[in-house]
Structure formats: structure tokens, C-alpha cells
Amino acid sequence: MGLISDIKTIKRKDPAARHALDILLTYNGMHAIWIYRFTHLLWVLKLKLIAKIIASLARFLTGVEIHPAAKIGKNVVIDHGTGIVIGETVQIADDVLIYHNVTLGGTGNESGIKRHPTICTGAMIAAGAKVLGNIKVGAHAKVGANAVVLKDVPDYSTAVGIPAKIIPNEKSSGAVCSLANKK
């Protein structure tokens, strides 16, 4: 989950990424992920107030809000990160692509329970999408631009519209991943 891996992943997933220095200096989504990793470590070490203060500063600097308690896998790309909100109990697996103005949020105010989405391996969340509640977006599933997703999206399916409708493809089985997020 290092710097080199992050840069290679962005280069692979973003056709506008020109070279490593460009990515290193100008990709606010990547900067947000790096700061999140530090704040998550602080959170795990029970330095929660410090983690939240640094996360707030990161939001100011990058335009991306990631709660330090969220769990994010490797090779996650936040492309054009401005306006992204990732809630406290969100789980994001490996190789996920998230575009700007996405909300991975809760639907209630209970504490001590999982109230945010789980995004499975290889999923893509398009610009402006809202994925809300303790639901899963399946492996290699896609959420269309500005969709409002309130129920599970099966593996390899696409969710579009308000509220989102599920469009299966030939690989869809109706199953939703059982996220093996190692964090």
C-alpha cells in the first residue's frame, strides 16, 4: 500500500495521469488517502481526537472528507476528489474507483452499529452518487452518476437512477460480495 503502488494504480485507472511527478504533486484524492492512512493509524492507537483534527485539516486541504475510523483497502483511487464524504463505518475493499461528489453515508444516527456502506473489490462509484446505509455495492459493480443507492447492488451489476434501479449483466448472479477487507 505504498506510494509506488498508489501512483501505478492511478496511472492505470486515469487516462489523464501523465507521469509520476504529476500524480505525486497534483492528485488531491491520493493526498486524501495518504492522510487518511495516517489518521486511521492514530484512530486504531486510540488517539481519536488527534485523528479527527488531522482529518478535518485534510478535508480543508483536499476537499475530501474521510472519517478516520473508515476501513479502506489498497489501490483505491479517488479521482477528482472534491466533495467526497466517506463515513465512519464505511468499508472499501481493494481496487475501487470513486469519482467526485460521492457520498458514502449513513441513514441514521445510532452509534455502535454499522450504518454506512460496504464497497466491494473492483467497484466503481461515478460522480455525484449517494450510497446510503448499511448496504453493499458488489464486486466489480458500478454505480452511475448521481444515482441514489439505498439497497444492495449485486456483483457485476450497475445501479442507476433515483432511487437506483439495478441492471444486471451477464456475469451477475444476484450475489453480493462478502467483503474480505483485511483491516
100 is a catalytic site residue? yes
Q: What is the CA radius of gyration of the chain?
A: 16
Quote the CA–CA distance of 38 and 147 in Å, as a whole number.
31
Query: Which of 40, 100, 116, 140 does the annotation list as catalytic?
Result: 100
Catalytic residue ranges: 100
